Structure 1
């Protein structure tokens, strides 16, 4: 299995890191590393997230305070969207 980030999910990661870095750059680095580590766990266990009722081809993984939506297609895990749990989506 391998990970592939959509343009939107990559921008989400950048946006989240920049938001934290405005107040605490070292915390931004810490949270970014932890989030990426959790996402990389999908390579070993791609069915870790729950299947969404409204979109059965999409899964949702809770990664600390963050939500990661992804889709499995063959041997590729597409990261679709990433946001903080307190954000309105």
Structure 2
């Protein structure tokens, strides 16, 4: 069973920010990030409970390269609500 995966406005903005930063410094790194995120979306659609438990009840985390994708189940859907650089102090949700 696959579920629909979608990103909140904040997660979309964070993803766009990472991609823009990487594109400026290394287009190949930006391409790898986009591809890794696409694989993460596919993985979450097939296995929505695959990540580790998040700090907040009902949330989970999936490590994608140097980034932590925070998400939660919304009925039959998965909502990605944050994409943070794992090397930063505020990366955990």
Provide TM-score, normalisation by structure 2: 0.86
**Which residue does 1:76 correspond to in 2?**
77
**Which residue does 1:3 correspond to in 2?**
5
Which shifted more, 30-39 or 75-84? 30-39
Where in structure 1 are there 5+ consecutive unaligned residues?
none
Number of residue pairs aligned between Structure 1 and Structure 2? 88
Alignment of 1:57-68 (within 5 A): 57-68=58-69
Is 1:13 the counterpart of 2:15? The answer is yes
Provide TM-score, normalisation by structure 1: 0.89
Q: Which runs of 4+ in 1 moved over 4 A?
A: none
Where in structure 2 are there 5+ consecutive unaligned residues?
none
**Which residue does 2:35 correspond to in 1?**
33
**3-state SS of 1:41 partner:** helix
Q: Deviation at 1:49?
A: 0.8
